[in-house]
Amino acid sequence: MNLKMSVKRSDGVKIYSVPYEPKMRILDALLFIQEKLEPDLAFRWNCGEGVCGSCAGEVDGRPVLMCKKEITKDMRDIRVEPMKVFPVIKDLVTDPGKVYEKLARLKPYFTGKKQSNFPTVYEKEAAKSQEMRKCIDCFICYDSCHVIRNHPQMGFTGPLNIVKAAAQDSHPLNTFSRTKLLEKEGVKFCNVSRCCTENCPQDIKITEHAIIPLKEKIISDTGIIGLIKKIGKKNEQI
Amino acid sequence: MAAIEAADLGAEVVVIGKTLLGKAHTVMAEGGINAALGNVDSPDNWTVHFADTMKEGQMINNWQMVETITKEAPKIIKKLESYGALFDRTPEGKVMQRAFGGQSFRRTCHIADRTGLEIMQALSAEVRRRNIKNIEECIITKIVRIKNKVVGALGISLRSGEIISIDCKAIILATGGLARVYSRSTNAWETVGDGYALALDAGAELQDMEMVQFHPTGMVYPESAEGLLVTESVRGEGGILLNAKNERFMSCYDPARMELSTRDVVARAIFKEIVEGRGTRHNGVWLDISHKPKDFIEKKLPKMIGKFKDFADIDITKEKMEVAPSAHYAMGGLCVHSETCQSSVEGLFAAGEVAAGVHGANRLGGNSLLDILVFGRISGRNAALYATHKESGEILPRVLKQEEQRLCRPFERQGVRAIDIKKRLQSLMWTNAGIVRNETQLNFALKEIKNIKKDAERIEVRGSRVYNHDWIQYIDVMAMIPVCEMIVSSALMRKESRGAHYRSDYLEKKDLWLKNIVVRKDGENLKLLLRPVPEVPERLKVFLK
């Protein structure tokens, strides 16, 4: 039995016929095409086991890691495309560089106190940061995000960078808050549709554990509640 | 780590990688990193770690390098924590440590089974903090030197297809290993041995190239998952090995240490069970952790659960895993100065898997992540110091042109596909220079490599130069050929069995062979010589008893 694979290449959609093997992945099908049919078909991959996050693309319109996406029985006519939100370098290879340009504004590194000895950190305190640190930079959340896809001009930093910021902000030894920096990066445009969470191959609860707490923090720091807090503080000082 | 250290000393650094920053093979490291912190087993200290490492290396390691990594290990864990890495914790809030094969105490610090990813994240963040320049998706194809001194490097940018030329005073090779020269490997796609080939071509000396570690447990089924790593932590956390007859066969090979014997012993045991007909349907054995509570496995081995669920539809909390050995790590590599990491070529440094010395004939699980950090730092520091008081050289246009011509020749000819040659070479190495070797097979391999070398001169590449995988395969093959030649020639020379190197025609380990086999280029051929292992001083010998 053969699969029909429609691959969006730089010079248009090409259709290939690929013999089906049980438990086959999208990556296997692409490797077959490259080996037997079209030597210069370009796609990015490295580990082949879902940890390096290199091979994200869109299969039947949905962002996935191609090394993990199994070709199931109902998939015989498969559409493979590059991630839509990035400029294409060639075929399925895109340039995700702009995410990191945005990330650079968020101090994406440890901002805690210097420790002279091994710090005492309990497992419970580490849990949230550890969840965020599972991120493999595959850009699937970014490619899944409606705000990024439909309204790029809004300048939203995107879910990936919020995860990176949360990884630092929730570090048990952290002393610097990125809330204000993030507020400037269009977090308000996120309408918590949970697409990022649903597509995350690392099962990070991006919406629930990173975005919503951030939105709450922004409101409590800067909205009417923040104002009340500020006044309260001033009164304390008097 | 090398880049961070060099940048902190004021050097102008460029990080060049075949992949995107932070996506190299290290992210696939699962089990952990060794440091004798004694957080779980308090009697542990660096001297025990030293002894374990030397013994596992079958005493052909460089003792000075082993002393350095075992002493520096706790400092490096602290350094990682200062970069924000978050290790799993003990109930007292200290760094948690787990058991690993061949170690006297529970010593391996970890973050579930994604330790490599955590380290990579911490290091990438530090590279970003320092705004260190990085060139992604670029393959270095030549180290240029004038006389015996490095002046720069040439390579191709995958994205533009252009040749790139970098003038520099020092180069640190941190390319990782070569396990992808074997058809079944735990390694990432990029790990074809470029670093070794570059060094050989530049005239550097390499050693212990016959010492290739086969990880006992790689996945065997389905085909798309073949070779993928099943972390040693599965056994560290209590997993047992069974053959098709449901016998816990390690009791025949190492009844004292059982599944937590050293990697060479476990790999050969599994190999033997399969060869002798006690293997599973897909030519593997069973690895079973399902006797442990579900929530324990979920906490300790989440990635393994995912891998088996995603690839094989197997729930490891209830079912057994099918595993077999898979090429994993090269103990050999560049001969480097034990204090500076400089090779025999001036200005060429090496650290991590591509350098030799630390692991000898076999590597302890958890020592490779330690190696890359400790020697990454040392090489970075010394390369920076070296560069501050050296004149810079320059790559001559003629050299650049020559390299461009060499790289682009396949676009002008018709012949064979690089991928076919690559597969031929990989399966040749697996069959003839793998877990068990003998003279006949090794001689055959050497002859075949020479044939492959000739055939490679007819490799053709079609299409544009931009992100052309066929072209990358060609560059890979040209690096793999000399690497395989070094492995096979060295394996032929070592007429004994030691550590990972197992000769069915020379089963014994002999003191006569307490030597390192050194290899370098001699015209078009390889020159091999024997060098006595540096003798362990008395003050350290006491720990080895």
Q: DSSP letters along A152-192, please? A: GGG----HHHHHHHHHHHTSTTB----HHHHHTTTGGG---
Segment B46-52 shows an average pLDDT of 98
Cα B417 to Cα A219: distance, rounded to the nearest angstrom: 60
> Could you tell me the two tokens for B15?
């990080």
List CB contacts of B494: < 8 A, sequence separation 6 or more.
B210, B501, B503, B513, B517
Q: How many residues does chain A have?
A: 238
CA distances from B363 to A65, B203, B249, B266, B366 (A): 32, 26, 23, 13, 9
Q: What percent of chain B has pLDDT over 90?
A: 94
CA B133 to each of CA B12, B136, B163, B238, B497: distance values in angstroms, whole numbers, following the listed order:
9, 10, 18, 44, 45
In terms of CATH, what superfamily is A97-227? Answer: Alpha-helical ferredoxin (1.10.1060.10)
The CATH architecture one would assign to domain A2-94 is Roll (3.10)
pLDDT at A238: 44
DSSP β-ladder status, B285-288 and B240-242: antiparallel
ipTM summary value:
0.92
Residue B443 DSSP SS3: helix
Residues 6+ apart with CB under 8 A from A208: A197
What digits encode the pLDDT tens for the residues B156-184?
999 999 999 999 999 999 999 999 999 99
Peptide bond into B222 cis (omega under 30): yes
Name every residue whose Cβ is closer than 8 Å to that of residue A12 and which is 6 or more positions away in sequence: none
| CB contact burial B469-478 (16+ within 10 A = b; e otherwise) | bbbbbbbbbb
Q: What digits encode the pLDDT tens for the residues B119-151? A: 999 999 999 999 999 999 999 999 999 999 999
SS (H, E, C) A55-109: CEEEECCEEEECCCCECCCCCCEEEEECCCCCCEEECCEECCHHHHHHHHHHCCC
In 3D, which of B279, B289, B189 has the Cα closest to residue B235? B289
- CA separation for the pair B194, B176 (Å, rounded): 9
What pLDDT sits at residue B15?
Answer: 97
- Tokens standing for residue B1: 């780590």
CA B388 distance to own-chain centroid? 30
Both tokens assigned to B220: 């065997």
Tokens in use for B512? 């006569």
CA distance A196 to A4: 28
Q: Does A176 touch chain B (CB under 8 A)?
A: no
List pLDDT tens digits, range B190-213: 999 999 999 999 999 999 999 999
| Closest in B89, B125, B159 to A108, CB measured | B125
Cβ separation of B469 and A39 shorter than 8 Å?
Answer: yes
What pLDDT score was predicted for residue B236? 92
**For residue A185, what pLDDT is reported?**
95
Q: A213 touching B, CB under 8 A?
A: no
Tokens at residue A63, please? 């962002």
State if pTM tops 0.90.
Answer: yes
Which residue shows structure tokens 């497992």? A123
Q: Domains of chain B by range and CATH?
A: 216-324 (3.90.700.10), 413-509 (1.20.58.100)
Does B457 have pLDDT greater than 50?
A: yes
Would you tell me how many other CB atoms lie within 10 Å of the CB of residue A196? Answer: 29
Mean pLDDT of B334-357: 98
Q: Do B23 and A54 touch (CB under 8 A)?
A: yes
Per-residue pLDDT of chain A (238 residues; tens, 9 = 90+): 899 999 999 999 999 999 999 889 999 999 999 999 999 999 999 999 999 999 999 999 999 999 999 999 899 899 999 999 999 999 999 999 999 999 999 999 999 988 888 999 999 999 999 999 999 999 999 999 999 999 999 999 999 999 999 999 999 999 999 999 999 999 999 999 999 999 999 999 999 999 999 999 998 887 666 667 666 665 554 4
Residue in chain B lying closest to A53 (CA): B23
CA-based nearest distance A138→chain B, Å: 10
Instruction: Show the tokens assigned to B167.
Output: 């003038």
The answer to whether B40 touches B32, Cβ cutoff 8 Å, is no
Per-residue pLDDT reduced to its tens digit, B352-377: 999 999 999 999 999 999 999 999 99
Beta carbon pairs, A and B, within 8 Å = 160
Q: Are B152 and B387 in contact (CB under 8 A)?
A: no
Helix, strand, or coil here: B528?
A: strand
Q: Closest to B78 (Cβ–Cβ): which among A35, A90, A118?
A: A118
Q: Where are the alpha helices (DSSP H) in B22-61?
A: 46-56
Q: Rounded to whole angstroms, what are the CA distances from B297 to B235, B237, B301, B306?
A: 12, 9, 5, 11
Helix (H, G, I), strand (E, B) or coil at B269: helix
B494–chain A Cβ distance below 8 A for any pair: no
Q: How many CB atoms neighbour CB B415 within 10 A? A: 12
pLDDT for residue A89: 97
Sequential DSSP letters for B62-85: -HHHHHHHHHHHHHHHHHHHHTT-
Q: Spell out which residues of chain A touch residue B223, defining contact as CB-CB under 8 Å.
A: 21, 23, 28
Q: What is the dihedral of CA A32, A38, A44, A48, to 10 degrees?
A: 10
Residue B390: pLDDT band with limits 50, 70, 90 = confident
Residue B171 C-alpha, separation from nearest chain A C-alpha, in angstroms? 24
Burial A108-137 (b: 16+ CB within 10 A, else e): bbbbbeeeeebbebeeebbebbbbbbbbbb
Say yes or no for a CB contact (<8 Å) between A47 and B95.
no
The distance of B256 to chain A (nearest Cα, Å) reads 33
The answer to whether B89 contacts A123, with C-beta atoms less than 8 Å apart, is yes
Q: Which residues of B are catalytic?
A: 215, 235
Q: Which amino acid is located at B405 in the chain?
A: Q
Domain borders along chain A are 2-94, 97-227
How many CA atoms within 13 Å lie on the side-chain side of B104?
Answer: 20
Report the sign of the C-alpha dihedral through residues B249, B250, B252, B253, in that order: positive
CB-based contact A23 B23, cutoff 8 Å: no
Task: Report the distance separating Cα B419 and Cα A19, nearest Å.
Answer: 19
Write out pLDDT tens, residues B266-305.
Answer: 999 999 999 999 999 999 999 999 999 999 999 999 989 9
Q: Are B467 and B438 in contact (CB under 8 A)?
A: no
Burial of B156 (0-12, 13-18, 19+ CB in 10 A): buried
Mean pLDDT, rounded, of chain B: 96
Strand A93-94 to strand A88-90: parallel, antiparallel, or no bridges (unpaired)?
antiparallel
